[in-house]
Structure 1
Amino acid sequence: MLPLGKLRSDVLNEILERLEINDGKVVIGPREGFDSAVLEYDEEHYLVVATDPVLGVPEEHFGFFTYHFASSDVSVFGTRPRWLVVDILLPEGSRREELAAIMGELNAECAKYGTSVVGGHTGVYRTLRAPTATTTAMGIVRREELRLPVAKPGDEIVITKGVGIEFAVGAAWFDAEGLKKHLSPGEIAQLREMYRLETVVSDALVAAPFVRGMHDATEGGLTALHEIADNSNLGFEVDMGKVYIPPLVDRALGAYGVNPLTVSSTGTLIAIVPPSKAEVLVRALGERGIPAFRIGRFTEDKGRLLKNGEGWEEFPRFEGDAYAGLY
């Protein structure tokens, strides 16, 4: 039986090996660790395309996530999400006002980033228990400005905002009663409002001029570093003492006994940064109100190491995501 959440590497790669692509316009096709496809557009540009499901999110802000999940995947390849194709599927009994709220929030995010919804499908179906969406986002990038999640030895690892935010926010929305044993009602309300951090669109657009590549730490959190290392044929070192966890998030993770390194962290940008540009990147992000933290580096040595206190240990791998148990 397949486990909950995204496919594990062995199953995913087995599927990908069966796909045949016989089109010379495909520059980057389906590949583990690459959340967007890249197609030839013209002699100077590529078309970046990403698709993502939207489910298991607060229904009150469904439109926000309908925009940002796929748009984040496009932005980490170095370009602004320009067009969206959106399928919004609603359960039986949904009201017109609920759909209007979703579309209003989606339109507000599109206006913020200059994105247009150019197609899609909307309907109501008995087989659904909650709203579900699929968004395909597209953007055009100059060929020399394309950013791929591949590192070189010595590149620094910079993250934005901190880890574990997605899980903590989900707990505040879906298990508020359980959290009341550990956080006050006011603190739970604060966590709920942190849903706005679950995007890397702004982070990536600011970071693009300074980085070699980027990745959004979604399901599996910082274990995405293994995917980057695999695709780069490198190892990496991370200092746990430099990995920032927002205080309220830290308390929420502690309440569930969740490892902050492996839990869903949508909204945490992982930037692959040449050493000479790391400090200027942190400063540029800070000037836009986006905190950033230098947590480690990629190494020619193939080990994947975590400095924890005075000692070193193996960096954990993705085995399952506690977020899937929240909703």
Structure 2
Amino acid sequence: MPGKVSPDDLLTHVFGRTGETDETVIQGPADGEDAAAIDWPGGTLVVSSDPISLAASQVGTLGVHIACNDVAASGADPRWLTVVLLLPTGTESDVLEAITADLDAAAREVGATIVGGHSEYVDTLERPLLSLTAMGATDSFVPTGGAEPGDRVILTKAAGLEGTAILAADFGADLDVSEETCERARSFFEEISVVPDARVLREYATAMHDPTEGGVVAGLVELARASDVRLEVDRDAVPIREETRALCGAAGVDPLRIFGSGSLLATVPAEAVEETLDALEAAGLEGAVIGEVTDNREDGSDTGGGDEARSGFALHLDGEAITEHVEDDLYPLWAAADEETD
């Protein structure tokens, strides 16, 4: 099954193999963290890399926003991008034209400049593979692992926006959903950026995280793991749009477990919730409280016993404890589509 490398494999094979120790690295590779943070003369340089390969539609637009979202979710404004574009051998020039036009438009939308990269044709590829590195600067780095017991969990916009748009674009013709619904859903591609969301939330947040693969559920698990806390979340409190419900119902997938780019998770102190929601509304953005951060000890008390007193991080979704790696519900749909074309 395609998807992210599991947290256990990352811990075993990746996180401990980072070359020389560098004291300027504030945040290096770590489970759930959206980006690296490096001390530099201008403040803190935030860097994040992300690939995109499976979405057939608007791959350039998605690539820019997904990379820039991770930088924004760490408290920085994305400024620079590098792009690696690999194309199947024999790809027509109009495909290259479409992808680079989308890259240019999306970069302008978030105020970033493409400063370099690499492009080539590869015999073994069946579809374009795009990987971007985004960089930005901030005076106040916001980690994924900063949530504190008592904080409230906020989600901007709604769950599954990217996944909904992909369902409509890649599978809509085969689903029992009206064309009008698919057309509205495809427009969600225009909301994938969370740069505006992060500019508001970073003033209040103890932690921020961009839910991508595996959707809101995966994002919450990653935030809980990075912060070593429990998250108590009410499924009914999570905003889900009508188009998302319709397409997910027709495809048999969970709206909370499909690609979630376009929304932003944040934890904020309880006393700052009302001000935070007011600030989002003033910026023309939707936001909802979906849960609460609690201690990961059984009784919430500080026994002084260290790790042995802890019962472990978890997402509690309507009482169900989720700690394992979450696979995205869209991957089996792509796999089935590929089998049909073989």
In structure 2, what is the equivalent of residue 223 of structure 1?
218
Offset of residue 35 of structure 1: 1.8
**C-alpha distance in structure 2 between counterparts of 1:259 and 1:249, whole Å:** 10
Residue identity (%): 33
Three-state SS of the structure 2 residue aligned to 1:211 is coil
Deviation by residue 1:81-136 (Cα, 9 ceiling, x = unmatched): 11111111222232333322322222222222321111101122222211111100
| Aligned structure 1 segments of 4 or more residues deviating by more than 4 angstroms | none
**Distance in 2 between the 1:72 and 1:138 partners?**
11
Once the 2 structures are TM-superposed, how far is the Cα of residue 315 of structure 1 from its aligned partner?
Answer: 4.4
> Do 2:47 and 2:71's aligned partners in 1 also have CA atoms closer than 8 Å?
yes
SS state of the match for residue 245, structure 1?
coil
Counterpart-to-counterpart distance in 1, 2:30 and 2:119: 29
Distance in structure 2 (CA, Å) of the matches to 1:261 and 1:82: 30
Deviations 1:10-61 (A, max 9, x none): 112112344144222222111110021111112x6111100000211233x2
CA distance in 2, matches of 1:320, 1:70: 20
Tell me the CA shift for residue 69 of structure 1: 1.1
TM norm structure 1 = 0.90
Q: 1:239 deviation in Å? A: 1.5
Partner of 1:154: 150
**SS at structure 2 position matched to 1:82:** strand
State yes or no: 1:128 paired with 2:125. yes
User: Could you tell me how far 1:264 is from its partner in structure 2?
Assistant: 2.2
2:193 matched to 1:193?
A: no
Instruction: Determine the C-alpha separation between the residues in 2 that align with 1:62 and 1:236.
Output: 33
Q: Distance in 2 between matches of 1:89 and 1:210?
A: 39
Residue 207 of structure 1, CA deviation: 1.7
Q: Paired residue for 2:172?
A: 176
Asked if 1:243 corresponds to 2:232, the answer is: no
For residues 256 and 180 of structure 2, what CA distance do their matches in structure 1 show? 26
Q: Aligned partners of 1:317, 1:244: CA distance in 2, in Å? A: 23
- Indicate the SS of the match to 1:320: coil
Partner of 1:49: 47
Query: CA-atom RMSD, angstroms?
Result: 1.9
| TM-score in terms of structure 2 length | 0.86
Q: For 1:111 and 1:202, how far apart are their aligned partners in 2?
A: 14
Which residue of 313, 316, 334 corresponds with 1:305?
A: 316
Consecutive unaligned residues of structure 1, counting only runs of 5 or more, are none
Matched, 1:38 2:33: no
2: CA distance between counterparts of 1:18 and 1:80? 29
**Would you say the 8 A contact 1:216–1:269 is kept in 2?**
yes
Runs of 5+ consecutive residues of structure 2 not aligned to the other structure: 298-313, 335-342
Shift of the alpha carbon at 1:212? 1.5
| Distance of aligned partners of 1:316 and 1:229 in 2 relative to their CA distance in 1, 3 Å threshold | closer
| Shift in CA distance, 89/161, structure 1 to aligned 2, threshold 3 Å | same
Matching residue's letter, 1:205: R
**Alpha-carbon displacement from aligned partner over 1:131-172 (angstroms, at most 9, x marks no partner):** 111100011111xx1111120111110001111222222221
Counterpart contact for 1:89–1:123, Cα < 8 Å: yes
Give the aligned residue type for 1:256.
A
Aligned length: 315
Does residue 262 in structure 1 map to residue 257 in structure 2?
Answer: yes
Which residue, out of 145, 161, 164, partners 2:160? 164
Aligned to 1:16: 14
Query: 2:256, 2:333 → 1: CA distance?
Result: 18
Which residue in the other structure is 1:324 paired with? 331
Do the aligned partners of residues 316 and 230 (structure 1) sit closer, same or farther apart at CA in structure 2, a change above 3 Å counting? closer
Per the TM alignment, residue 177 of structure 1 is displaced from its structure 2 partner at its CA by 2.8
**Residue 8 of structure 1, CA deviation:** 1.6
1:205 to 196, 199, 210: 199
Letter in 2 for 1:7: V
Matching residue of 2:301: none
Aligned-partner Cα distance in 2 for 1:161–1:248: 13
* More displaced stretch, 196-205 vs 81-90: 196-205
Contact 1:110 1:116 in 2 (8 A): yes
